[in-house]
Structure 1
């Protein structure tokens, strides 16, 4: 249907999550298998208190140069051709001689020698990644990036805010077991749907009461929101103060 997942991870889901064709899945994104360990474990180190939040932001930004890039759009079945960052001109690699000498602004990848030789993504110009590979943790946006923070926390705040609205014990009270004394998952789901529909109608009615309909004064005054911080200034463990 065109939707793509955006979410945070539990503490035991951070770092390297899966591997396919030699590429590694790190917190939802496919990366070069030779990406440095400090970049792979950046969020783990943040939660463990081994690095500061400012350092975490810098490490997340440094991951971008090691990200596996799409060669073309995914087909109708979800399979997609991808290429290593050196092939895409985002990094320099000793296994890709033509990628060398492009400037000091590009990181130099130095793969560790292996008795079995380079992995598939390092041998071929492109590889095909299936939709099943890493599907449990994959997400479209780069974890921890400004775009991810803006979308993830905005959606999360909206969901949590609506949950609190529908849990109002003086209204729908969806959290109260006494308001839905019925057995069975199907029956509970149908009842919850009616409760949420009623919560939606209550929200709409409250909004309509703030409009000057028919030339009359609105029945309610509009709600003035408190000033909040920008969503992209938040990190997985709290607020990141702007640099001095």
Structure 2
């Protein structure tokens, strides 16, 4: 079974080489208590499914990713993993060490609490809608990065956008791209708050921000490829007062 999974990962990686524009993981609807349990188990799970962590895992080879997940997520022994993969235990230990170093070097250095992340997201979206470039630049780190996953299905930049000024100007210019009757709801996606852009027909964009320890935005992930909304397509705008923020054009 493990070898079949590795073969599938290799096929997916080969297809991704022809993917149009930046690739981001599919948004996963998770639950609010993920970040607040006392024993820490749910915190670890939330981090493991975060967009930032999934993006990091995608940079591993299929074999490294299999070893990392079997060891770190499921706590299998090196001997068991070696048996699964049909490889020697020393080779598996080396793969695990290399994967762990890679992940530690690239994982987010700071994990803000959910309320702070949502508050910054709300400020950011308000500044976008108001066309307030100065406010946007203040919210962003100088080297902030925007990745938009359109998958060739919707209009989106083909390459990441780097730098606070360029990112801010992109969002100010993108205000005209909002669909009629758009509303924004905040849902727990991949273990953290995300802004979900909705019309009565369902979601069409998911936005999630990563912050540094000074509460500034380091990375922005926008997912607009409709093929990636299979798991969240049942979402429709809520009628509950205060649960949504209406977007005007």
Structure 2 length as normaliser, TM-score? Answer: 0.24
Q: Which has the larger radius of gyration?
A: 1
Give the number of the structure whose residues are more often helix, by fraction: 2
Q: Select the structure with the greater relative contact order (CA < 8 A; seq sep ≥ 6).
A: 2
Give the number of the structure whose residues are more often strand, by fraction: 2
